[in-house]
């Protein structure tokens, strides 16, 4: 509690300080209030120590005295963790308060033998003494669980926490308390004492790497970004991916068509696909969805426009090989830096990390065409289909507001006949292009149709298309057939409008 003599108004005006983690600072709208007490809670292994070290390292960067009070991990363990992250702990005072064998200091050894209450107050007294001697600007207490154990009763524990709070409030220290959530009940009292609370979580999913996420539970006086934010721990520390909020982003862009480089296709699309919209390409495996998506990137590169392809299903090698059989100059676009293929392993990448990669391509990489190939792969990176729809909704709104043409690829199960769509996302799409195999007179052919387009007027016809070393060729509307999308059409007309099959035909 501030007293008048310290000057309340002065206290109120203290500018926020950087926590020491870019993502967390972003979620908190710039940083945290100094000289307050914060609580970081999370199960063992959730990343508390790592995040706490980043807080102190920021203090060191600012030339502040910093103190790490550890009741759980030994100094050696801490140093090892820091070393693995490539951090030097020089400038951070580590105060190891772990009782029995590890401590050789007789005064500390005594504390083990004392009755619990003595031991607890001695521990806090030692903390106080150390803080008074050092006057650190940033303090970490790792962790409260040990204090809770020493206290034995919730009442005594609470009294100690209040004593800690009281002690720190008179000092110019910003304090981060860690708690590993080992107490059975949710510690709301602790929450009410802290100025801010951040929860760290680690989730095991059925397949692939564990998912980490954090949530700011409370932060007094700060309009923080609510909800869960994915994060990863990699060498070098915590990388937090602030949740994408589409409404926060907007770019001015021209309302114009993005040519595909194929006039037949553009006319089928009623002029073409527009900037700031998305198109969903649906069809069976191998029917030509990725090739169709690729033509947009190639045509973009010819206009010096940048595209990014998020490849969930195929490697760059497969993609290049296909492009060269189709006579599409993909390598050329890549070499000129106009086409960027980002291979994504959905088992390893959290959705938040993916969204952040998309943002980076758009904001730093200046991409104006984004291709996600395929949503089936993206779905695998999600714990739940519901999340995909929600996240896709946010991502697509974001891309739309930035004037990006987004092409989504979705594979259906089945080849001809009844098809099964694994994910109903068509209502999020501005346009849906359906690609189908059909069989006619003993050969397999391909057809495409625009079944939905929100802006402009598309053709309601079905056209045959071919993949050859000349890329994608779209034929005239298929008139006189019925049941093309059933896979086995019946021809009812007089002159067959099907395309000639030449030796280059890959169909
Ligand atoms: N150098 C590193 N590179 C990548 N990941 C690392 C590295 N060092 C630690 N980690 C990850 O960080 C996790 C532990 O983080 P941390 O020690 O901060 O958790 P904690 O919440 O403090 O755990 P505890 O409750 O056990 O103290 C480990 O599970 C490990 O996967
Ligand atoms: Mg720890």
Instruction: Using the mean position of ligand 2's atoms as its centre, give its distance from the Cα of residue 88 in Å.
Output: 17
350 neighbors 204 (Cβ within 8 angstroms): no
Q: Is 233 in the pocket of ligand 1 (CB under 6 A)?
A: yes
Q: What is the DSSP string of 314-358?
A: S-HHHHHHHHHHTT--HHHHHHTTSEEEEE--TTT--HHHHHHHH
Which amino acid residue places its CA nearest to atom 25 of ligand 1?
44
Q: Which ligand is nearest to the CA of 53?
A: 1
| Ligand 1 in reach of 239 Cβ (< 6 A) | no
For the CA of 180, the nearest ligand: 1
Pocket test for ligand 1, best of 41, 42, 48 (most atoms within 8 A of CB): 48
pLDDT at residue 182, rounded to an integer: 80
C-beta of 201 in contact with ligand 1 (< 6 A): no
Q: What angle do CA 242, 245, 247 make, to 5 degrees?
A: 150
What's the CA-to-centroid distance between 46 and ligand 1, angstroms? 7
Which ligand is nearest to the Cα of residue 231, counting in written order? 1
Cis peptide before 374, with omega less than 30 degrees from 0? yes
**What pLDDT shows up at residue 505?**
46
The answer to whether the beta carbons of residues 257 and 332 sit under 8 Å apart is no
Verify whether ligand 1 is closer than 6 Å to residue 84 (CB atom). Answer: yes
Task: Tell me if 237 CB under 6 Å of ligand 1.
Answer: no
Say which residue the tokens 């203290």 belong to: 14
Q: Is the CB of 146 under 6 A from ligand 1?
A: no
* Tokens representing residue 140 in the block: 């970490």
Using the mean position of ligand 2's atoms as its centre, give its distance from the Cα of residue 47 in Å.
7
Residue 217: DSSP 8-state: E
Q: What are the pLDDT digits (tens) for 64-83? A: 999 999 998 899 999 999 99
The residue among 160, 178, 208, 168 whose CA lies nearest residue 69 is 178
Ligand nearest to the CA of 238: 1
Q: DSSP 3-state assignment of 459? A: coil
Q: Is the CB of 393 under 6 A from ligand 1?
A: no
Return the pLDDT at 244. 92
Nearest atom, ligand 1, residue 235 CA:
3
From first to last of its 507 residues, what are the pLDDT tens digits of the chain?
444 444 445 556 789 999 999 999 999 999 999 999 999 999 999 999 999 999 999 999 999 999 999 998 899 999 999 999 999 999 999 999 875 544 445 555 444 444 555 677 788 889 999 999 999 999 999 989 888 888 888 888 888 888 888 999 888 999 999 999 887 666 788 888 899 999 999 988 777 778 899 999 999 999 999 999 999 999 999 999 999 998 888 888 888 999 998 898 998 888 889 999 999 999 998 899 999 999 999 999 999 999 999 999 888 899 999 999 999 999 999 999 999 999 998 888 888 899 999 999 999 999 999 999 988 888 876 766 677 788 899 999 999 999 999 999 999 887 777 777 777 778 889 999 999 988 888 888 899 998 877 776 777 888 999 999 988 999 988 887 787 777 777 777 665 677 776 544 443
pTM: 0.84
Rounded to an integer, what distance in angstroms lies between the CA atom of residue 7 and that of residue 193? 22
Q: Which ligand is nearest to the CA of 40?
A: 1
- 377 CB under 6 A from ligand 1? no
Sign of CA pseudo-dihedral 153, 154, 160, 163: negative
Q: Contact 401/246 with Cβ under 8 angstroms? A: yes
pLDDT of residue 7: 46
**Which ligand is located closest to the Cα atom of residue 42?**
1
Q: How far is the CA of 233 from the centre of ligand 1 (A)?
A: 7
Q: Name residues whose C-beta falls within 8 Å of residue 467's C-beta, 6 or more positions apart in sequence.
A: 288, 291, 326, 446, 505, 506, 507
User: In this predicted structure, what is the pLDDT of residue 1?
Assistant: 42
Q: Give the pair of three-digit tokens for residue 459.
A: 């053709």
Model confidence pLDDT, tens digit, residues 119-149:
777 888 899 999 999 999 999 999 898 888 8
Burial class (CB in 10 A: 0-12, 13-18, 19+), 282: buried
- Closest atom of ligand 1 relative to the 143 alpha carbon: 27
pLDDT for the residue numbered 458: 72
Question: Best substitution site from 233, 236, 237 to test ligand 1's pocket, by max atoms within 8 Å of Cβ?
Answer: 233
Burial of 281 (0-12, 13-18, 19+ CB in 10 A): buried
Residue 131: both structure tokens together: 């803080």
Pocket-testing residue among 39, 49, 240, ligand 1, by greatest number of atoms within 8 A of Cβ: 49
CB of 180 sitting under 6 A from ligand 1: yes
**47 CA distance to ligand 1 middle (Å):** 5
Q: Whole-angstrom Cα distance, residue 480 to residue 460?
A: 14
For residues 374 and 412, what is the distance between their CA atoms, to the nearest angstrom? 11
CB-CB contact of 424 with 410 (8 Å): no
Q: Decide if 448 contacts 465 (C-beta within 8 A).
A: yes
* CB of 81 sitting under 6 A from ligand 1: yes
For residues 359 and 244, the answer to whether their CB atoms sit within 8 Å is yes
145 alpha carbon – ligand 2 mean position (Å): 11
pLDDT confidence of residue 116: 57
For ligand 1, whether the C-beta of 430 sits within 6 Å is no
Gap between the Cα atoms of 472 and 464, Å rounded: 11
Residue 436 in contact with residue 293, Cβ under 8 Å?
A: no
- Decide whether any atom of ligand 1 lies within 6 Å of the 234 Cβ: yes
Q: Which residues surround ligand 2, an ion (CB under 5 A)?
A: 49
Q: At what angle do helices 106-113 and 116-134 cross, to 10 degrees?
A: 150
């Amino acid at each position: 509690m501030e007293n008048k003599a310290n000057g309340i108004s002065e206290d109120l005006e203290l500018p926020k300080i950087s926590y020491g983690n870019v993502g967390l600072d972003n979620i908190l709208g710039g940083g945290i209030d100094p000289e307050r007490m914060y609580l970081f809670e999370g199960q063992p292994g959730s990343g508390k120590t790592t995040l706490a070290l980043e807080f102190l390292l920021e203090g060191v960067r600012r030339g502040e005295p910093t103190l790490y009070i550890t009741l759980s991990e030994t100094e050696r363990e801490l140093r090892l963790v820091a070393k693995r992250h490539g951090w030097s702990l020089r400038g951070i005072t580590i105060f190891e308060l772990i009782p029995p064998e590890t401590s050789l200091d007789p005064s500390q050894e005594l504390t083990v033998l004392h009755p619990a209450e003595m031991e607890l107050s001695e521990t806090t007294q030692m903390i106080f003494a150390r803080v008074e001697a050092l006057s650190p600007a940033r303090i970490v207490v790792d962790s409260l669980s040990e204090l809770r154990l020493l206290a034995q009763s919730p009442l005594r524990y609470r009294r100690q926490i209040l004593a800690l709070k009281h002690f720190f409030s008179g000092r110019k220290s910003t304090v981060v308390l860690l708690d590993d959530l080992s107490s059975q009940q949710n510690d709301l009292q602790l929450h009410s004492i802290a100025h801010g609370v951040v929860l760290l979580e680690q989730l095991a999913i059925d397949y692939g790497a564990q998912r980490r996420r954090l949530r700011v539970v409370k932060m007094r006086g700060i309009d923080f970004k609510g909800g869960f934010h994915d994060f990863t721990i990699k060498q070098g520390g915590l990388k937090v991916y602030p949740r994408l909020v589409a409404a926060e982003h907007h770019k001015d862009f021209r309302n114009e068509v993005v040519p595909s480089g194929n006039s037949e296709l553009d006319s089928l699309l009623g002029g073409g696909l527009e900037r700031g919209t998305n198109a969903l390409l649906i069809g069976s495996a191998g029917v030509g969805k990725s090739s169709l998506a690729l033509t947009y990137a190639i045509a973009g590169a010819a206009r010096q426009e940048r595209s990014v392809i998020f490849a969930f299903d195929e490697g760059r090698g497969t993609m290049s090989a296909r492009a060269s059989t189709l006579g599409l100059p993909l390598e050329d676009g890549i070499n000129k830096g106009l086409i960027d293929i980002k291979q994504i392993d959905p088992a390893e990448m959290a959705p938040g990390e993916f969204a952040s990669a998309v943002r980076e391509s758009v904001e730093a990489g200046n991409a104006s065409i984004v291709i996600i190939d395929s949503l089936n792969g993206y779905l695998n990176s999600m714990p739940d289909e519901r999340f995909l729809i929600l996240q896709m909704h946010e991502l697509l709104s974001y891309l739309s507001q930035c004037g990006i043409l987004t092409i989504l690829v979705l594979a259906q199960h089945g080849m001809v006949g009844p098809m099964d769509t694994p994910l109903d996302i068509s209502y999020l799409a501005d346009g849906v292009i359906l690609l189908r195999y059909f069989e006619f007179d003993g050969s397999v052919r391909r057809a495409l149709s625009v079944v939905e387009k929100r802006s402009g007027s598309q053709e309601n016809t079905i056209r045959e298309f071919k993949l050859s070393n000349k890329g994608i060729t779209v034929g005239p509307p298929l008139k006189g057939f019925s049941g093309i999308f059933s896979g086995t059409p019946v021809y009812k007309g007089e002159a067959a409008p099907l395309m000639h099959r030449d030796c280059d035909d890959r169909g």
